[in-house]
Amino acid sequence: MPGSNLTRVEAEERKAVVEAPIHYHVNLDLTVGPKNFGSKALICFNAKPGSSTFLDLIADEVSSIELNGRAIDPATAFVDNRIELTDLKEKNEVTVTAKCRYSNTGEGLHRSVDPSDGNIYLYSQFEVPDARRVYAVFDQPDLKATFDFKVLAPESWIVTSNMPAASVEADPRETLDGTLGEKPNESTRLWSFETTPVMSSYLTAICAGPYAEWHTEYHNEDGRTIPMAQYCRQSLAEAFAKDVDYLFDITKKGFAFYAKTWGVPYPYAKYDQIYVPEYNAGAMENIGMVTIRDSYVFESKVTDALAERRVVTVLHELAHMWFGDYVTMKWWNDLWLNESFAEFTSTLATAEATEWHDAWATFCSGEKSWALRQDQLPTTHPIVAPINDLNDTYVNFDGITYAKGASVLKQLAFYVGRTQFFEGIHNYLIKHSYSNATLADLLDELAQTSGRDLKAWSAKWLEQSGINTIASAVEENENGTIAELKLTQTAPAEHPVLRPHRLAIGFYNEDEATGKIVRTDRLELDVDGETTVVAEAAGKQRPAFVLVNDEDLTYTKIRFDAESLAFAEANLHRFDDALARAVTWLAFWDMTRDGEFPAERFVDMTLRLLATETESTTFRYALACMSTTAHHYVAPAAREQVLRHVAAELWKLANAAEAGSDTQFQLITAYLGYGEEGDSAFAANAHGLLDGTVSLPGLEIDNNFTWTIVNALASVNEFDEAEIDAQLAKRDTTENREFALGARAVRGLAEAKEWAWNEALNNAELTNAQLEAVARGFSATPRPDLAEPFAAKYFETVDWIWANKTYHMAEALLNGLYPGYADPATLVELGDAWLAAHADADNALKRLIVENVASSHRTLKVREYNAAL
């Protein structure tokens, strides 16, 4: 059998054999020991008589298999993570008893020990297909089933699942037939949960441990009362208690907004949100019990950008309860339907139902910039991506699936009309409730409510790769009015499709009363084909700035006419509207990374913007893109001078910023990323911030910011390993261990890089979060001399990583250990050679390597452009 990488063909073949109803009785024993837990699954299902199929299971040991009353030898039936089932009847029962392994990689059932108090916390993560790491299962989304979960756990723990607990019994070991381990010293309790509705296995969930808990309820639009709960580790309870009421309120606003917008009340029995440690993703939409990374529990000051992102994440997962859970994709090629829709509607809900009214500016700067970067890589793919197997799915949790898809859905809603769009969504949800659906099903409903034929639209927008560019050109009359405003749409040669766009054009001028740049006119039109003349613009006074795609209504790159470009470069910091600033800034960033706009001018323009920008996510991304430009894109001869210039300006801006503000916090954090070994002024500033001899009004040196300073000092060899260990000893927590590992790895020493490289690859005791911290620290020191020795080593190690690590850990290593500060010409040469020699490698592996090497190709190209200026 081909093992854990299920193919689409195999899934279709199994779907043709296994028939509804399917029901699981899953018993888990969490008292067996620190490495393993007991798993016993009884699966009842219908099938075509005489047929054969298989169950998925990743387990250390299978002790028994019984199919329709006959015992099957596990030694022959359990092979390569599958259990073969033969000679099936019309109605079947199979029981599998196994010993499964806790993970420390965030896959399956993750076990985390909090060093601050010794508490053990468990949580499950089953997307893409990791329910099979916990119980025997037909682990594919279109074999929906009902589930009964029973969990034996220590008495001091709480256990949560998708449904409310039906009963909690004291020490009832006999109910599990005595097959699941020795009785522990601590008394146990058996948690039995109510039967789930019909659902996909990847959405089932179990969390267990001594979590702190808070409860409230929501009065649902259908008259039911929905119990709500939030959980976190005990060591975070004091900090989390300050935010619980706010997060409950955000969630309730989401309930109301979605029920009103889609006309479908929340469909499930309860709604828990549990903040868990060492999480690979942002969150996961398990039915009735969402898991969220507990870095969203804020013990220390965070940026407003991160605070807003937490709100969007909460609303994103809530949106999935309808879109993804209530109606689920048939196969992973429609993963985008889940993620794009949740990303689009959570941004809409954030903008319209919470205090974060500039959420679309946030989306443009953060999510859309991610989409544009992803869509210009050699690995770009259609939104509806071809998914041949599970490995293809793993790499498609990307900027196309989330951000481009959400941008295109925003365009679709504008294209068909908001009322018609959400009426179609309502009909889609009602028609396919508790079942599986496809893109065609969704488009059918939208076509009926809008009256538009969406097949041609879908073919160009959803089924073709790449991004268009729309450039504006203005011809003026002698009196300063517009003779002609023309838009020209182009497409990259490798993806030559021109798309229909419904968009707006904004005219911007200075408001003499305020000195701000404001919109003075707005035109709305359809753009299709190569050339569109904006007839409505003729005769209007030429504005100072013409913004194509005003309000960011479509998904495209934009290029300005010459006068608009010059005006925006000089005046972007004076634009009054946050979304207009974000759209314009993103165009400048795209031109910079395409080698069409000088890097040093982009740096200076960004510094002017940072002096006045108020939208936190735009601020955050402007800082990040300026850093990439200064470190990678400027001409090599100018790099050192530009880096010192940026550092000096950031220090000035931080000292001039409002005391205690988000702006001050982001600026000083960014400044600490520009240290150079031997820079005595930087070392004095950083040491002074740490010991209190240097201070900025209102800036609190809390736990996380202390580690930011430690990291900065370690990178320039002003903080050694013993000092890092002493800092950790002051407060040994899950988070601080990760910070300490990152600080050790970021040190500007060859031996520190060797240590980090070996630790990341070979220390199996590192958790997923610790491994990522080490890998980040390894690659974060901006010194080519430290990165160069690992260029060849990286490509020599790729195959070993892929063969010996789970997908998520391989991804973390292959991205985190890529020595991006090495000479890009060397990386390009080595990377192209590896790809040429690995034409037959797994597509998912090749994609990871292609994307890293593509970044070096771009760096080389853009450096050459700037060096030639």
Q: Does 2 have pLDDT greater than 60? A: no
Q: Are residues 60 and 172 in the same domain?
A: yes
Just list the catalytic residues.
317
**One domain for residues 76 and 169:** yes
- Region 72-81: mean pLDDT is 96
How far is the C-alpha of 563 from the C-alpha of 571, rounded, in Å?
Answer: 12
Do both 348 and 479 map to the same domain? no
Instruction: Work out the average pLDDT over 497-522.
Output: 97
The per-residue pLDDT for 453 is 87
Look at residues 461, 496, 512 and tell me which one is the last residue of a structural domain: 461
With a cut of 90, say whether residue 386 has pLDDT above it. no
Token representation of residue 448: 């009926």
Q: Does one domain contain both 501 and 572?
A: yes
Predicted pLDDT of residue 173 = 57
- Same domain? For 245 and 300 the reply is yes
Q: For residue 15, how far is the Cα from the chain centroid?
A: 30
**CB-based contact 708:737 (threshold 8 Å):** no
Pairing of the two strands 289-293 and 327-329: unpaired
Look at residue 360 and tell me whether its pLDDT is greater than 80: yes
Tokens of 799: 């195959």
Q: Looking at the 3D structure of the chain, how many domains does it have?
A: 7
Residue 16 and residue 159 in one domain: yes
CA–CA separation, 452 vs 392, rounded Å?
33
CB atoms within 10 A of CB 154: 18
Residue 833 has pLDDT above 90, yes or no: yes
Residue 549 sits in the same domain as residue 522 = yes
Nearest by Cα to 101 from 7, 34, 192 = 34
Structural Rg of the chain based on CA atoms = 28
Identify whether 822 is part of a domain. yes
Residue 747 domain flag: yes
- Please, which residues bridge with residue 110 across strands? 103, 123
682-704 confidence digits (pLDDT tens):
999 999 999 999 999 999 999 99
Residue 419 has pLDDT above 50, yes or no: yes
DSSP string, 335-389: HHHHHHHHHHHHHHHHHHHSS-TTHHHHHIIIIIHHHHHHHTSTT---SS----B
Of 701, 729, 750, the residue that ends a domain is 701
Where is the domain boundary, 778, 798, 826? 778
Identity of residue 713? L
Q: How far is it, in rounded angstroms, from Cα 142 to Cα 6? A: 14
pTM, full prediction: 0.96
| Residue 712: Cβ within 10 Å count | 25
**Do 473 and 442 share a domain, yes or no?**
no
Contact at 8 Å (CB) between 34 and 40? no
Under a CB-based contact definition with an 8 Å cutoff, are residues 396 and 382 in contact?
no
pLDDT of 1 reads: 33
DSSP type of residue 57: -
Average pLDDT over residues 75-79: 96
- What is the domain-level CATH number for residue 572? 2.60.40
* Strand locations in 598-719 (E): none
707 assigned to some structural domain = no
pLDDT at residue 819, as a whole number: 97
Residues 29, 174 within the same domain: yes
Residue 179's pLDDT is what?
A: 42
Could you tell me the two tokens for 465?
């790769």
Domain for residue 774, yes or no? yes
pLDDT in tens, 109-155: 999 999 999 999 999 999 999 999 999 999 999 999 999 999 999 99
Please compute the mean of the pLDDT values over residues 584-599 and round it to a whole number: 98
Token pair for 461: 């927008």
pLDDT tens for 522-545 read 999 999 999 999 999 999 999 999
Q: What percent of the chain has pLDDT over 90?
A: 94
- Averaged pLDDT for residues 774-793: 97
Q: Say if residue 317 is in the same domain as residue 348.
A: no
Q: How confident is the model at residue 319 (pLDDT cuts 50, 70, 90)?
A: very high
pLDDT tens for each residue of 650-693: 999 999 999 999 999 999 999 999 999 999 999 999 999 999 99
Residue 708: inside a domain: no
Give a yes or no: residue 484 inside a domain: yes
pLDDT at res. 530: 97
**What's the pLDDT at 771?**
97
Q: What is the pLDDT of residues 420-430, one digit of tens each?
A: 999 999 999 99
What confidence category does residue 3 fall into, taking pLDDT thresholds of 50, 70 and 90? low
**Position with higher pLDDT, 452 vs 531:** 531
Count of beta carbons in the 10 Å neighbourhood of residue 342: 26
Q: Does 129 share its domain with 16?
A: yes
Sheet holding 78-79, edge to edge: 53-56, 82-85, 78-79
Q: Is the pLDDT of residue 177 over 80?
A: no
- Mark whether 247 and 373 lie in a shared domain: no
The CATH code of the domain that includes 267 is: 1.10.390.10
Res 171 pLDDT > 80: no
In a domain, 713, yes or no: no
Beta strands in 212-313 (DSSP E): 212-219, 225-232, 271-276, 283-284, 289-293
Instruction: State mean pLDDT over 204-211.
Output: 98
Q: Which domain holds residue 679?
A: 598-701
Cα–Cα dist 331/155, whole Å: 40
- Rounded to an integer, the average pLDDT of 343-356 is 97
Residue 16 lies in a domain: yes
